[in-house]
Amino acid sequence: MAKMHSRGRGHSRSNKPLNAQVPTWTRLAAKEVEMLIAKLAKEGKTTSQIGITLRDSYGVPSVKLLCGKRIQEILADKKLTGDYPEDLLALMKRSVQLRKHLEGNKQDMPALRGLQLTESKIKRLAKYYKGTGKLAPDWKYKPEEVKMYA
């Protein structure tokens, strides 16, 4: 989705190592990592924040290599997932912030364009999540009601 509204070419990101084996220097076992994921989720962290915490604080290079499942799958098994997917929530928070900004700055046309692009991304993602069953089929994006989720 990153290239749709910009002139950017290519993908700037880091690549995972080709070695598909658990490194010998990892200190934690799979069960310990799953318990840490559950503990961090109960503290209110998102899946990306959990992954960053595991990488930086606990030295876990890849949860999928270690446990055989992604963080989101582990949370789903333990029934700790939220009502909405993380990427959709982030876009909804951004739209709330843009609407708040536009209330005080009505002439800010670049911000208005950013709000339009953000809301179109929300609607496309909602269509995808309705098809996969992660959102209810009758869910609609309503900016007035989003404020309580974001």
Q: Give 119 or 18, the one with higher predicted confidence.
A: 119
Task: Indicate if the pLDDT at residue 125 is higher than 80.
Answer: yes
pLDDT at 144: 86
pLDDT band of residue 5 (cuts 50, 70, 90) is: confident
pLDDT at 87: 92
Selection from 126, 97, 98 nearest residue 114 by Cα:
98
Residue 91 lies in a domain: yes
Per-residue pLDDT tens digits for 72-120:
999 999 999 888 899 999 999 999 999 999 999 999 999 999 999 999 9
Rounded Cα distance, 46 and 16, in Å: 21
Same domain, 71 and 91: no
Task: Indicate if the pLDDT at residue 1 is higher than 60.
Answer: no
Same domain, 36 and 69: yes
CA distances from 137 to 15, 32, 92, 131 (A): 35, 37, 18, 8
Residue 12 lies in a domain: no
Which value, to the nearest 10 degrees, does the dihedral of the CA atoms of residues 109, 113, 114, 117 take?
Answer: 170
pLDDT band of residue 149 (cuts 50, 70, 90) is: low
Same domain, 106 and 142: yes
Q: Give 56 or 14, the one with higher predicted confidence.
A: 56
Selection from 79, 86, 5 nearest residue 37 by Cα:
79
Structural domain range at position 119: 86-146
Residue 5 lies in a domain: no
Same domain, 108 and 68: no
The residue-averaged pLDDT of 47-72 equals: 92
Q: How far apart are the first and last CA of the chain?
A: 21
Q: How many domains does the chain have?
A: 2
pLDDT at 45: 93
Rounded Cα distance, 96 and 99, in Å: 5
Residue 9 lies in a domain: no
pLDDT at 150: 60
pLDDT band of residue 146 (cuts 50, 70, 90) is: confident
Same domain, 69 and 116: no
Same domain, 57 and 93: no
Same domain, 107 and 62: no
pLDDT at 106: 95
Same domain, 46 and 92: no
pLDDT at 7: 72
